[in-house]
A and B are shown apart, each in its own frame.
Chain A
Amino acid sequence: MADRKLGKQTVYFENGPFVAGGAAVVGRKEGEGPLSEWFDFRLKDDRYGEKTWEKAESKMLKEAMMLAMKKTGREKSDIDLVLSGDLLNQIMSSSFMARDLQLPFLGLYGACSTMTESLLLGAMLTKGGFAHNIVVGASSHFCTAERQFRMPVEHGNQRPPSAQWTATAAGAMVLSEKRSSIRVDCGTIGKVIDAGVKDANQMGSAMAPAAVDTILHHFADTGRSFADYDLVLTGDLGFVGKAIAADLLIDAGMDAGLVKSRYDDCGAMLYDRERQDVHSGGSGCGCSAAVFSGYILKRLQQGDLNRVLLLSTGAMLSTISPFQGESIPGIAHGVVLEVC
Chain B
Amino acid sequence: MKKEVQKKDIEAGYAAYVKPFTPKPPYLKNCLWAFFTGGSICTLAYLANNLLMEGGMEEKNAQTLVTVGIIMIAQLLTALGPFDTIAKTAGAGVIVPISGFANSMVAPAMEYKKEGIVLGAGAKLFTVAGPVLVCGITAATAAGVIYWIAGLF
Contact = CB atoms under 8 A, between A and B. Distances in A.
A196 B15 contact: yes
B62 interface: no
A99 B71 CA distance: 43
A195 B107 contact: no
A275 interface: no
Interface string A144-162: 0001000111111111111
A154 B23 CA distance: 25
Contacts, number: 90
Given A155-B104, A156-B83, A161 B24 contact: yes
Interface string A236-271: 000010011001000000000000000000000000
Nearest to B109: A152
A202 B83 contact: no
Contacts of B12: 196
Interface string B61-85: 0000000000000000011010110
A244 B21 contact: yes
Interface residues of A, number: 28
A196 B11 contact: yes
B91 to A, nearest CB: 5
Which residue among A160, A196, A240 has the maximum number of chain B CB atoms within 10 Å of its CB? A196
Contacts of A162: 22-23
Given A147-B111, A155-B128, A156-B88, 9 more contacts: A153-B111, A154-B84, A154-B103, A156-B103, A158-B25, A161-B23, A161-B26, A196-B8, A205-B18
Interface of A: 51-52, 147, 151-162, 195-197, 202, 205, 208-209, 240, 243-244, 247, 280, 327
